[in-house]
Structure 1
């Protein structure tokens, strides 16, 4: 008896205008998936942030895949390109962003560090299908992490410069890690 495979996900190509300027890489280099949440109100706002060119190379910060609350999956950057989504891990990883308010709009306010919005069932189902696809297509894929596992930097709070807050807290406490880890063969890393 073969285990039930997640359904093949439907991917909507929506390449960022600067995707072709991102460094190319062999897929065999990718051994890590990093789970994020957008910490923005909706997919359109996440797109606007992703399109911002903030580096001299004419590129910006973005994940590879964005999963909206309805479960739709949008490809901003193909996995054979290095996207800027996690400091020090971009060259070896694929970034998956789940649309979720997170701490928006007070990301660094010490009084607003709670992340209350749950992830939708449709988002989780699409994430599992996408992870299954990536496991089949990326030969070296072995690890998974949350952004908060890899970026432990603290910065002064926006409301009190004498208090430190974590720069990144995503995907946050509402992310269903046990369900995801039960469904994949990937090992969660927390350096």
Structure 2
């Protein structure tokens, strides 16, 4: 019995150590040109009511997404563009600044950093100014993997240790913040329904970081 107990103690300690270790992160920076800086500052002012000299954020929240299609390279090329593509009229009517994210995680769990966590990215309406975005390669038809679950959990632990993160949500859950003090969106009609990254994925990630006691609503 003692040997079995010892085995499980070692197993749990090893798992905890692996979860708290800094994850391997591959740097893959997107272009943050003068034009992108200008448009980001305009977005912060026009949509979040924040007048800043630099396009930076103070992270309070992590938002998990999925890409809906493509792979790391195709999504990198997409995020790397400064301006939105023509077909996204709802977003383009608000700003021509392209969407982006601080991180992207491949299906094998590889983590890529596209920009500094404290740099502004347009990925979640009303909350961009305080939210770190983590994109995951996958879709409803191509469900996210267990390796992505593990990498998201590890990255969340790392970011929570580095910044004062209070909230963890999926993109589909962001609407619950609309009437809270955290919500900053000047246009009350600017809101889109999202389904990513899926409730099953969020449940799995939350289970692995339950001890962090991150909130999912205001």
TM-score bin, normalised by smaller chain: 0.7 to 0.9
2:137 matched to 1:99? Answer: yes
Structure 1 counterpart of 2:141: 116
Query: Which of 132, 150, 158 is the matching residue for 1:125?
Result: 150
Task: Name the CA shift for 1:117/1:58 in 2 (closer, same or farther; >3 Å).
Answer: closer
Larger radius of gyration: 2
Structure 2 counterpart of 1:172: 198
Query: Which of 63, 74, 84 is the matching residue for 1:45?
Result: 74
Larger strand fraction of residues: 1
TM-score for the superposition, normalised by structure 2: 0.65
Task: Name the CA shift for 1:86/1:186 in 2 (closer, same or farther; >3 Å).
Answer: farther
Structure 1 segments (4+ residues) deviating >4 Å: 55-59
Structure 1 counterpart of 2:169: 145
Q: Distance in 1 between matches of 2:102 and 2:96?
A: 17
2:27 matched to 1:13? Answer: yes
Count of aligned pairs between the two proteins: 161
2:213 matched to 1:189? Answer: no
Task: Tell me how far 1:124 sits from its aligned partner.
Answer: 1.3
Task: Tell me how far 1:170 sits from its aligned partner.
Answer: 0.6
Q: Compare 17-26 and 68-77 and name the one that shifted more.
A: 17-26
Q: Distance in 2 between matches of 1:19 and 1:66?
A: 20
8 Å CA contact 1:18–1:58 kept in 2: the answer is: no
Matched residue SS, 1:179: helix
8 Å CA contact 1:144–1:186 kept in 2: the answer is: no
Task: Tell me how far 1:38 sits from its aligned partner.
Answer: 0.7
Matched residue SS, 1:37: coil
2:115 matched to 1:77? Answer: yes
8 Å CA contact 1:32–1:141 kept in 2: the answer is: yes
Q: Distance in 1 between matches of 2:60 and 2:213?
A: 10
2:166 matched to 1:135? Answer: no
Larger helix fraction of residues: 2
